Structure 1
Amino acid sequence: MIIAVYAPHDPRDKRMLWDYLAHVINQWQGEVVIMGDFNEVRVKSDRFGTNFNVLGANIFNSFINSTGLEEVHLGGSAFTWCHKSATKMSKLDRFFVSNNLLNIFPHISGITLDRFLSDHRPILLRESAHDYGPVPFRFFHHWIHLEGFNDFVTSTWNSAPSVDSNGMRNLAGKLKFLKAHIKIWIKDNKSETVSTIANLKKELNQLDAVIDKGTGTEVEAEKRMEVLAALRNIDHIHSMDLAQKAKIKWSIEGDENSNFFHGILNKKRNQMNIRGITIDGVWKEQPNDVKQEFLSHFQDRFAKPSERRANIDMRFPKTISEDQSQDLEREVSKQEIKTAVWGCGTDKSPGPDGFSFGFYYPHLCPVY
């Protein structure tokens, strides 16, 4: 069901409209797209040069939440309406879709177009995906539970070349070496897992056929339990993978077969997806343009400063004592390193090569 909206200005009339639309949408047994000029904003930053009506925004947001709608991210300009004097601007035009529609069209997005003589910008709904190249390396906690992974990491780490005298550069080099080999191992493991699942299901069907005939023995029954346990273990590891990607509490929010879960996962992907960037007032979507702009931005941020620098008076009226100075410069103990690492959550990362502390706990920390 597609609903086109041109909302009234009067707050009482708008509230009546939200109630009517909520009734229609909640009665509809299917997907919904609602779009148009809602004459209302959701947050204070959606307005410029005009007063923000907190009550009106709360009622509007309540309507959106009660109908299970998700707002489609708009690329391009931040505001869709502009007064002719250009002193007042607001984001009044939007797209909303039902949660399940994100499962069907995960790459759905919107974009604002040029206004020309109108005071409103047209908005375009579309599904588009851009390829920004290989994704960065990420360590997933469920890898630790894969059979053979711990032994593989240990052997690979011990065989990694150690050619740099600098300890930190040597660590980074070994992590880079390990990362490349983990990628290959995980890819091979996925292929083996697909084959293993097929074989286990085939064996389960054969065992069920024997048991259903009434000719099964305790041996077949025990074997069936072993096959089921193996399948459940594989399914549990897969669930851990999806749970980390979705960043939700698995035992509370449900399993990967629920519409809720897929809605959360696809909503996160939709929100984090980079659809384009404004460069000198012009919206650019081509991956090469976007990546080049990001590269230029951070090159400027981290470039070597100019020769003209501020002079700092190094004559400080208060200084630390000799004992404090020695305490700051002393060697860090293994116990201090362990305490610092153990105090971090599993989803935190110390920086190099995408490894999280979920990886460091069982693998690298014992090395110290």
Structure 2
Amino acid sequence: MESIDLLSVRLCWGNVNFDYVHSDSIGNSGGILCIWDPNSFRKDSVTVSDYFVIVRGVWIKSGMDILIVVVYAPHDVRDKRLLWDYLSHVSNQWAGEVVMMGDFNEVRYKSDRFGSNFNAHGADIFNNFIINAGLEEVPLGGSAYTWCHKSASKMSKLDRFLVSENLLNTCPNISAITLDRFLSDHRPILLREASFDYGPTPFRFFHFWFDVDGFDKFVTDSWKDAPGDDSNAMRNLCGKLKFLKVKIRAWYADYRNNSKGSVTNFKEELRILDELIDKGNGSDEIVNNRLEILGKLQQVNKAQASEVAQKAKIKWYVEGDENTKFFHGMLNKKRSQLNIRGIMINGTWTDNPKAVKQEFFQHFRNRFDKPPDQNAHIDMPFPNSLSTDQQKDLECMVSKEEVKRAVWDCGTDKSPGPDGFTFGFYRHFWSTIENDVFEAIKYFFHMW
């Protein structure tokens, strides 16, 4: 690709509405072509090198300043190190968001190579460059390797997307995927922002609800109103928890709507009181009213902060003003890292929610299905055996005190199962649910 003409670019892009910049190839390797839709991205300036193309501009839809870097890294270790230093400098000098992409000709981990030697020193330098540039790698779905030798004896993950940390926070649905390779020795990689509907959001109990007036009575009354099943204590407990989840979801929706309205009202009341105080009408009654409203507003803000902290699984004890944007960004980043964007099914990458859920269901069904009736027998004498008292002790029913002690020994934020109720919930409402929990455990032991 010594030079490129407009017609070739148009054939590559598919229509006449485009802008582009390119870097010529060096011999049989290299060469970069960067094309974009001017209705989506407005170019401000470009920098072209043998090993990269930098395009600075604005993402028109959001008005976000963005630095796009397309890389075709050299093989030489010294040249690569110079490239990493320069790109790190460029990234740190840029005030907006950064997206780097392309063939970096380097791996990050030993698992990124197959059939060839892993250069730990080169990987360390590359990883340090990513950290120093303030970048995060976008998880890549599909094939584990992006480059394959024609003999298929060597494979490596050389191609990737690196983006600024803030971009990953503000756009948590960003994901990357490998495409089919066909004639090239590299698989194309695609960066996209797409969310998939995997059904209703799983229920999660939040501990700040304990501090909401009337919540304890609401839960206690709902538990008493829940339909029971006297024939099966385990099903009875699960049914009551399911009933309670439905009730709490409805309660929480009303609570959030009311909280938004309350915050608006509190702020308006504060504004009116501040105007009176500024005019010299700051009586004791007005000052006390202002302090009371401030207390209510802080209580709402504290509840919101507690919710974010539990979602992010971090400790948050901050006096005064909270850096809400920072913690929401941390939460979005964690969600992005934990998101399941697809899975390999029989060697094919699938992101269809229905197919993904079915594959997970079959996997766990095969693992936890009832084992066959063939029992294992060990035909050998054992010099030591349990006494009769020890056998009785193992087979006896656990007591309520033992069950309670087991619950109290677990962390409050953890959940004993997939129902979303934490151990903190069980502790707080133990007097209400104790009998149902114990009866379910007794029923479970009798089954075995």
TM-score when scaled to structure 2? 0.77
Higher relative CO (Cα under 8 Å, sequence separation at least 6) belongs to: 1
Q: CA RMSD in A?
A: 2.1
In terms of fraction of residues, the more helix-rich structure is 1
Q: Structure 2 residue aligned with 1:126, among 181, 192, 206?
A: 192
Map 1:279-318; keep pairs closer than 5 Å.
Answer: 279-305=345-371, 309=374, 311-313=376-378, 317=382, 318=384
The aligned counterpart of 1:240 is 306
Matched, 1:72 2:171: no
Q: Structure 2 residue aligned with 1:220, among 271, 286, 290?
A: 286
Query: Conserved in 1, the CA contact under 8 Å of 2:308 and 2:327?
Result: no
Q: Distance in 2 between matches of 1:55 and 1:316?
A: 56
The aligned counterpart of 1:164 is 230
Structure 1 residues 104, 350: CA separation in 2 closer, same or farther (over 3 Å shift)?
A: closer
Structure 1 residues 174, 314: CA separation in 2 closer, same or farther (over 3 Å shift)?
A: farther
Per the TM alignment, residue 64 of structure 1 is displaced from its structure 2 partner at its CA by 0.9
Per the TM alignment, residue 22 of structure 1 is displaced from its structure 2 partner at its CA by 0.9
Map 1:218-367; keep pairs closer than 5 Å.
Answer: 218-251=284-317, 255-258=322-325, 260-305=326-371, 309=374, 311-313=376-378, 317=382, 318-351=384-417, 353-364=419-430
Matched, 1:4 2:84: no
**Greater CA deviation, 284-293 or 224-233?**
284-293
Structure 1 residues 207, 255: CA separation in 2 closer, same or farther (over 3 Å shift)?
A: closer
Partner-residue secondary structure (3-state), 2:97: coil
Deviation sequence 1:73-118 (CA, Å, 0-9, x none): 1111111011111111111100011112124422111111111111
Q: Distance in 2 between matches of 1:216 and 1:264?
A: 42
Q: Distance in 2 between matches of 1:363 and 1:206?
A: 41
The letter of the residue matching 1:312 is H
**Structure 1 portions without partners, runs of 5+:** none
**Greater CA deviation, 16-25 or 351-360?**
351-360
Q: Distance in 2 between matches of 1:21 and 1:352?
A: 45
Q: Distance in 1 between matches of 2:345 and 2:358?
A: 11
The letter of the residue matching 2:324 is N
Q: Distance in 2 between matches of 1:364 and 1:135?
A: 26
In terms of fraction of residues, the more strand-rich structure is 2
The aligned counterpart of 1:81 is 147
Per the TM alignment, residue 170 of structure 1 is displaced from its structure 2 partner at its CA by 2.3
Map 1:48-197; keep pairs closer than 5 Å.
Answer: 48-197=114-263
Query: Conserved in 1, the CA contact under 8 Å of 2:170 and 2:329?
Result: no
**Greater CA deviation, 164-173 or 336-345?**
164-173
Query: Conserved in 2, the CA contact under 8 Å of 1:80 and 1:93?
Result: yes
| Aligned residues between the structures | 366
Percent identity over paired residues = 60
